[in-house]
């Protein structure tokens, strides 16, 4: 009888594998189709603008980039990349000290966080896995507990984007209305902000054990940081990460001016966090953000290509920082 049950269990597991593979394949195909659609829409907008000026797409883009102040752009991007790295490493260090390794020093986190940027060229989640590996090897932190801290940091990053976007939208709502010709952003964004604001206190109450009884979810190792986090720690993480987003708004506003695109600081404050959220969608080449740039700035469809250059430089330069720190990171990971 037991053998028959084991046979049925094995058979059920084997049946699930092809189903899971088929689902993953369908999901990947859907993501690639959406990506192709995003690129087609951006190309169509750029082609229409180029034709209006009597140019081909290639001529239009060549003119756009030829007129840019590339030296000024490099002088802007290089310091910001270093600034981003230190702010990001500091926030990660604070979270790890709270939830995983209280004795950890910032100088120990810097090379590991930097080297994780190399892996992030492939996948951001793989980069976070490097941090978890370090905590497991050098501080004997269980992998799921280390990952729970990365999940905590991910949540605060999302709320940072939402909060700054809400501030920008409230201060420059008229700009949002002007940009809502393609998508009703003046309606969608306030709804998203309200839902996010309503969820966060429920989230904290639930994981602190004051709301509902769902021990299977609450006690999962992946949510350990949520169980231990106090409300003021959410706020502190937001504040630790805030300089990066404020810096990004300034950098993108200035960079666009160097590319002769007329945008205001208010537009960037309202739209850039939303664009960053779209970049987090599981679409190859950050296609969601690419399309949103074209939607939000219809007079400048070429900013989609500009955003690809900005993102590519940023991740490659940060990976370069990681390479510089790699010997130290290897010593931290594999040294005695």
The 10s digit of each residue's pLDDT in 293-322 is 887 887 888 888 888 888 889 989 999 999
- Confidence at residue 238, expressed as pLDDT on a 0 to 100 scale: 94
Question: Which domain does 262 fall in, by range?
Answer: 67-334
Q: How many domains does the chain have?
A: 1
Asked if residue 4 is part of any domain, the answer here is no
Asked if residue 38 is part of any domain, the answer here is no
pLDDT digits (tens, 9 = 90+) for 226-243: 999 999 999 999 999 999
pLDDT digits (tens, 9 = 90+) for 91-150: 999 999 999 888 889 998 899 888 888 877 766 666 667 777 788 887 888 888 888 998
Asked if residue 2 is part of any domain, the answer here is no
Q: Which two tokens stand for residue 82?
A: 């270093």
- Confidence at residue 126, expressed as pLDDT on a 0 to 100 scale: 65
Report yes or no: 272 and 252 within 8 Å, Cβ to Cβ: yes
- Confidence at residue 112, expressed as pLDDT on a 0 to 100 scale: 87
- Confidence at residue 12, expressed as pLDDT on a 0 to 100 scale: 52
% of the chain surpassing 70 pLDDT? 91
Asked if residue 194 is part of any domain, the answer here is yes
Asked if residue 115 is part of any domain, the answer here is yes
pLDDT at 269 over 80: yes
Distance, CA of 229 to CA of 234 (rounded, Å): 7
Report yes or no: 307 and 209 within 8 Å, Cβ to Cβ: no
Asked if residue 62 is part of any domain, the answer here is no
- Confidence at residue 15, expressed as pLDDT on a 0 to 100 scale: 55
> How confident is the model over 30-56, as a mean pLDDT?
84
Q: Give which of 333, 286, 307 is closest to 135, Cα–Cα.
A: 333
**Which long-range CB contacts under 8 A does 312-315 form with residues at least 24 apart?**
313/77, 314/77, 314/81, 314/84, 315/117, 315/120, 315/121
Asked if residue 3 is part of any domain, the answer here is no
Q: Which two tokens stand for residue 266?
A: 């208010």
pTM: 0.84
Read off the pLDDT band of 288 (50, 70, 90).
confident
User: Higher model confidence: residue 75 or residue 41?
Assistant: 75
- Confidence at residue 243, expressed as pLDDT on a 0 to 100 scale: 94
- Confidence at residue 1, expressed as pLDDT on a 0 to 100 scale: 52
Q: For the ranges 24-33, 55-64, 234-243, 248-257, which has the lowest average pLDDT?
A: 24-33
Asked if residue 25 is part of any domain, the answer here is no
- Confidence at residue 4, expressed as pLDDT on a 0 to 100 scale: 53
Give 275-326 as a DSSP string.
HHHHHTSS-GGGHHHHHHHHHH-TT-TTHHHHHHHHHHHHHHHHHHHHHHHH
- Confidence at residue 71, expressed as pLDDT on a 0 to 100 scale: 95
- Confidence at residue 233, expressed as pLDDT on a 0 to 100 scale: 95
Q: Give which of 256, 296, 43 is closest to 51, Cα–Cα.
A: 43
């Amino acid at each position: 009888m037991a053998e028959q049950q084991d046979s049925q269990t094995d058979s059920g597991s084997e049946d699930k594998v092809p189903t899971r593979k088929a689902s993953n394949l369908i999901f990947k195909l859907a993501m690639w189709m959406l990506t192709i659609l995003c690129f087609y829409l951006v190309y169509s907008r750029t082609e229409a603008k180029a034709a209006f000026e009597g140019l081909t797409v290639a001529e239009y883009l060549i003119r756009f980039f030829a007129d840019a102040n590339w030296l000024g752009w490099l002088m802007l991007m290089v310091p910001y990349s270093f600034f981003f790295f230190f702010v990001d490493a500091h926030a990660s260090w604070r979270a790890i000290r709270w939830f995983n390794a209280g004795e950890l020093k910032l100088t120990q986190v810097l090379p590991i966080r930097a080297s994780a940027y190399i892996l992030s060229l492939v996948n951001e989640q793989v980069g976070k896995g490097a941090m978890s590996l370090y905590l497991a090897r050098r501080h004997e932190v269980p992998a799921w507990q280390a990952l729970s801290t990365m999940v905590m940091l991910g949540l605060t990053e999302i709320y940072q984007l939402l909060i700054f976007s809400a501030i920008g939208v409230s201060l420059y709502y008229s700009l949002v209305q002007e940009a809502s010709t393609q998508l009703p952003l003046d309606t969608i964004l306030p709804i998203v902000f309200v839902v996010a604001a309503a969820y966060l206190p429920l989230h904290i109450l639930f994981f602190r054990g004051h709301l509902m009884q769902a021990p299977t979810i609450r006690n999962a190792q992946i949510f350990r940081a949520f169980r231990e986090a106090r409300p003021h720690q959410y706020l502190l993480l937001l504040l630790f990460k805030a300089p990066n987003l404020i810096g990004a708004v300034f950098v993108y506003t200035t960079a666009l001016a160097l590319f002769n695109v007329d945008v205001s600081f208010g537009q960037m404050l309202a739209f850039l966090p939303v664009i960053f959220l779209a970049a987090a969608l599981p679409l190859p080449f950050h296609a969601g953000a690419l399309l949103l740039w074209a939607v939000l700035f219809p007079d400048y469809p070429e900013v989609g290509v500009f955003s690809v250059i900005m993102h590519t430089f940023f991740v490659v330069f940060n990976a370069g920082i990681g390479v510089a720190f790699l010997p130290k990171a290897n010593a931290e990971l594999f040294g005695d």
